[in-house]
Structure 1
Amino acid sequence: MESQTAKTIGGYFQLTLEQGKEYYPDLIKLNTSRNALEYVLIIRGYTKVYLPYYTCEVMLEPIVRLNIQYQFYSINKELEPIFDFEIGPTECLLYTNYFGLKQDTVKWLRENVDNLIIDNAQAFFSKPLPGIDTFYSCRKFFGVPDGAYLQIDTDERLVLEKDSSANRVGHLTSSIDHGIEHSYADFLENEAKLKDNDIKSMSYLTQALLCNVNYKESKNKRIENFKFLNDNLFLANELAVDFPDEVPAMVYPLLVSKKGIKAKLIEKKIFVPTFWPNVLKWTTDDMYEYKLTKRTVYLPVDQRYGLDDMAYMVDVLKKII
């Protein structure tokens, strides 16, 4: 990892971290994934973006800031684009590799769509395909305050200021002493700090933290946990997606018709996110994206947990589904 200043000898100890390696050392290091998208849009000069209804509203930030036209598209029950539009020569398609499960679709799109941008914010361990502009979000998978990686198939680069993350780690350090619940308000405050930030290079702190991650263990844990949940819940899962083998997914998406599942899980201190509340404003209740947002339960499978935790979640779910 590069050093921010000339080496200092002596003085107090900094935060002790392992001097490991990043997972994507050769990709462009940026502060957020939405800014990685902005980076691509600036370099490519696209005049219009086709993006899915089923995505986070922050993806609109760079598009609106750059005053670029955009149009939403629908996805089918396999979470793949419904092509009822044509992409012009100066336009692009943004596709989300949902939960890290849609790498085969990414490969198909690479062969059939020009001007493709892949959002791998939910697919950290899915390696970028050669020649395809692809970006990642680090904090979706690891305990870091920010950070993104970008592959872009051009030698052109933007000259960027270095970001600073020292004022964004409060929720991470506080949660160690006081727990996730106590620090949730700090987490929301940090998320707000990332809104409408300028494109900057990844901070030294975030890069140091990413050099401290055991990526092999993290990947294997996700694969093991996801497989356990799928083995036990696939009969109850209404999601019409073929789950690939050995997938280090972001979460296990469980689509169920019964109402109130999320609230009952939260009562048991199983905290599940909603991807994404804004979709309910963009769509109508007869659209598949609306159903996905309303009815899908996103179960954690990450490296913080083992099979005992997965078994506990399965036991709770089987009593309430």
Structure 2
Amino acid sequence: MPNSTHPVRTIGGYMGLQLPGGKPYYPDLIQLNTARNSLEYILLTQGYTTIYLPYFTCEVLLEPIKRLQLQYHFYKIDEQMDPVIDFEVDDHSCMLYTNYFGVKTDTVRALSKTQKNLIIDNAQAFYAAPIIGIDTFYSCRKFFGVPDGAYLYARSSRRLELSKDSSVDRMSHLVKAADLNVEAGYADYVRNNDVLINNEIKVMSNLTQQLMAAVEYDDCAKKRREHFAFLHERFKDINEFKFHYSPEDTPMVYPLLIAKDHLKSQLIERKIFVATYWPNVFEWTSPDALEYHFAQHMISLPIDQRYNLDDMKYLVETVESLLVKT
């Protein structure tokens, strides 16, 4: 007789994708589909009516804010990317701060001791542990090869009833990158970004959960730290962005600020793809604003686990050769 307690599932058929087993990096956090939806989750469960957020941030964060019809106000940051707090947060409002590039953890700690209703955007700081009592969210796809996914540390005990997301139609850029190259999948990557616009809050898909459980987190972090330290040693004297760097930090990229026109486009021409964080800042601010300067001249050099120190040496040599020419 068959075992009546055996779960109903398919047995046989074709072989599916096999991934090594493992555990998520944040097993106790809420698993969601996107970082922007993590912000919406916080805003819903906390019942805020107003949010203060930096000019220097990604425009997608406005999606949940506008959807919930909250009032929002922008604030400035200084040369160290610390917030210029010229406003007051009351019981019904909150303040969002971004751990820029994963190198502003000291500022996050300081703000956590002084600021009311603080929300930390750790989308660029996956490895920075949440601080107890401080709402914090993370993005998976900024650090790893996954189609979507986010983690949320929520101080509210309220939990939303959510359906589970599906990522099967968001994998083409990752498959093309693995089978061909990153350039072959870029158009699909752009389309995937468009698909994520204004998605409802959902639980992280089964596929993304499995992919995240297969990541070798310690190895990825080790390589990022080594690459970051190497670039910082070579660029710290010419880098206009002066930040405090701790060897314990695991940054997303190396933020090299140099006021040289066309340097970013020249790197891209040489197939060193450096993102602009964030193009919307050009519309939100004026050319004389510090945030405009950051968006225009910050060179976000890749340091992730796909590369080795020889790649970092090539980055340094390429940047230095372009600086000599300009």
TM-score bracket for the superposition, by shorter chain length: over 0.9
Aligned position for 1:219: 221
CA contact (8 A) 1:77 1:241 kept: no
Please say if residues 128 and 249 of structure 2, whose CA atoms lie closer than 8 Å, have aligned partners that are also in contact.
Answer: no
Which deviates further from its counterpart, 251-260 or 6-15?
6-15
Selected match of 1:247 from 242, 246, 249: 249
Confirm or deny that 1:116 pairs with 2:137: no
Native 8 Å contact 1:222 1:247 kept in 2: no
Does 2:66 correspond to 1:68? no
1:97 matched residue in structure 2: 99
Q: Residues 92-125 of structure 1, C-alpha deviation per residue, up to 9 Å, x if partnerless?
A: 0000000111111111111001101000000000
Q: Classify the secondary structure of the residue corresponding to 2:306.
A: coil
Aligned to 1:275: 277
Gaps of at least 5 residues in structure 1 are: none
**Mapped pair 1:179 → 2:185:** no
The one of 115, 138, 142 equivalent to 1:136 is 138
Identify unmatched segments of 5+ residues in structure 2: 1-6
Provide, for residues 158-207 of structure 1, a one-character-per-residue CA deviation record: whole Å limited to 9, x for no partner.
00000000000011001112211111000000000000000000000000
- Does 1:46 pair with 2:55? no
Distance in 1, matches of 2:17 and 2:43, equals 36
What residue in structure 1 maps to residue 4 of structure 2? none
Question: How big is the shift at 1:155?
Answer: 1.8
Partner of 2:193: 191
Does the alignment pair 1:156 with 2:158? Answer: yes
**Cα deviation, residue 241, structure 1:** 1.7
Q: Does the 8 Å CA contact 1:160/1:200 hold for their aligned counterparts?
A: yes
Residues 56, 275 of structure 1: 8 Å contact kept: yes
Secondary structure at the aligned position of 2:184 is classed as coil
SS of the counterpart of 1:183?
A: helix
Query: What SS is found at the alignment partner of 2:16?
Result: coil
Which one of 34, 39, 50 corresponds to residue 32 of structure 1? Answer: 34
One of 9, 17, 20 as aligned partner of 1:15: 17
TM-score when normalising by structure 1: 0.97
Q: Which amino acid aligns with 1:53?
A: Y
SS in 1 for 2:190: helix
Instruction: Give the alignment's Cα RMSD to 1 decimal.
Output: 0.9
Q: Deviations over 1:56-79 (max 9, x none)?
A: 000000000000000000001111
Secondary structure in 2 matching 1:240: coil
Q: Using a 3 Å threshold, how does the CA distance of structure 1 residues 139 and 54 change in structure 2: closer, same or farther?
A: same
**SS at 2:274's partner residue?**
coil
Q: Percent of aligned pairs with the same residue?
A: 53
Match of 1:55 in 2: 57
What is the alpha-carbon distance in structure 2 between the residues aligned to residue 96 and residue 260 of structure 1? Answer: 27
Q: 1:133 to 1:320 in 2, by over 3 A?
A: same
Offset of residue 243 of structure 1: 2.1
- Alpha-carbon distance in 2 for matches of 1:184, 1:190: 10
In structure 2, what is the Cα distance between the partners aligned to 1:123 and 1:254?
Answer: 17
Contact 1:222 1:303 (C-alpha < 8 Å) held by counterparts: yes
1:6 is displaced (CA, Å) by 3.8
Contact 2:19/2:210 (<8 A) preserved = yes
Aligned mates of 2:8, 2:188 — CA distance in 1: 33
- CA distance in 2 between partners of 1:87 and 1:76 (Å): 19
Matched-pair contact (CA < 8 Å) for 1:276–1:293: yes
